[in-house]
């Protein structure tokens, strides 16, 4: 199977590389990692499948399952103050109390790379290696003390992505790469998921349904 990461020999015996996993019927990844610093960056390579029927709908790339209106928590995935682009006419990126349109006009059915970074005072977004960028002042903490999730976060109830493909997820905290996750297939039971090449942990579906893959 084709891979586009240049990573083909890092998986241990018992796992096979695949190009991506795709959310389906409530499937998501719970990394178990809690962001505890304002010095953090996240990189995700994703492709949102869709057509005109998904206009104005929201899909989360990553976040957390923090309780609604958690006091003072404005980071990735805290209540309604979370990161999500919306599909269609207004693809906005929401982080903390900031909302900006750096993602506006990003095409569906095309692979994109989004890098979000914070140093505690300033917040930045970089789309497709500089094709679009945003830099601004950060308000509140970037962390929320809750496990980081992929394909899901919480707003008014859990918001789970549908037909979202992911082929790389990286998280850096305090200048240390703590998560570097690539799609893989566990050969013994043909279960797809994300394999963290930093810690050697294979993450499978923590929700309902099952991931699709290629």
pLDDT at 109: 82
- With CA atoms as reference, report the closest residue to 117 among 42, 168, 45, 57: 42
Listed as ranges, residues in the chain with pLDDT below 50 are: 1-6, 52, 54-56, 68-100, 156
pLDDT at 34: 86
Q: Tell me how far CA of residue 72 lies from CA of 55, 135, 144, 191, in angstroms.
A: 32, 22, 8, 38
Domain extent listing, the chain: 30-182
pLDDT at 18: 97
DSSP string, the chain: ---SSS--S-SPTTEEE-S-EE--SS--EEEEEE---SEEEEEEEEEE---GGGTT-B--SEEE-PPTT-TTB-STTBTTB----B-SS---EEETTEEE-TTTTPPTTS-EEEEEEEESSEEEEEETTTTEEEEEE--SBS--SSEEEESEEEESEEEE-SSEEEEEEEEEETTEEEEEEEEEEETTTTEEEEEETTTTEEE---SSS--EE-
Q: 46-62: b or e for each residue (b if 16 or more CB lie within 10 Å)?
A: bbbebeeebeeebbbbb
CATH architecture assignment, domain 30-182: Sandwich (2.60)
Judged by phi (left if over 0) then psi (alpha if -120 to 50, else beta), residue 61 lies in: alpha
pLDDT at 106: 62
Give the separation between CA 152 and CA 175, rounded to whole angstroms: 25
pLDDT at 159: 64
In the block, tokens 């976060």 appear at: 153
pLDDT at 98: 47
Give the separation between CA 39 and CA 143, rounded to whole angstroms: 9
pLDDT at 12: 95
pLDDT tens, residue by residue, 155-202: 545 567 778 899 999 999 999 999 999 999 999 999 999 999 999 999
């Amino acid at each position: 199977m084709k891979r586009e990461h240049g990573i083909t020999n890092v998986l241990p015996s018992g796992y096979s590389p695949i190009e991506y996993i795709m959310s389906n019927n409530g499937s998501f990844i719970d990394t178990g990692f809690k962001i505890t610093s304002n010095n953090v960056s996240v990189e995700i390579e994703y492709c949102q499948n869709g057509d005109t029927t998904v206009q104005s709908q929201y899909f989360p790339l990553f976040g957390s399952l923090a309780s609604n209106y958690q006091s003072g928590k404005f980071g990735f995935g805290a209540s309604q103050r979370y990161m999500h682009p919306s599909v269609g006419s207004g693809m906005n990126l929401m982080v903390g109390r900031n909302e900006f349109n750096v993602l506006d006009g990003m095409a569906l059915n095309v692979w994109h790379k989004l890098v979000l970074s914070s140093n505690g005072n300033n917040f930045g977004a970089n789309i497709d290696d500089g094709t679009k960028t945003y830099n601004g002042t950060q308000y509140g903490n970037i962390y929320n003390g809750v496990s980081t999730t992929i394909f899901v976060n919480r707003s008014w109830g859990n918001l789970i992505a549908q037909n979202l493909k992911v082929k790389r997820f990286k998280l850096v905290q305090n200048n240390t790469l703590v998560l570097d996750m690539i799609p893989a297939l566990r050969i013994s039971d043909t279960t797809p998921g994300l394999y963290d090449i930093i810690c050697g942990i294979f993450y499978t579906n923590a929700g309902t349904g099952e991931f699709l893959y290629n």
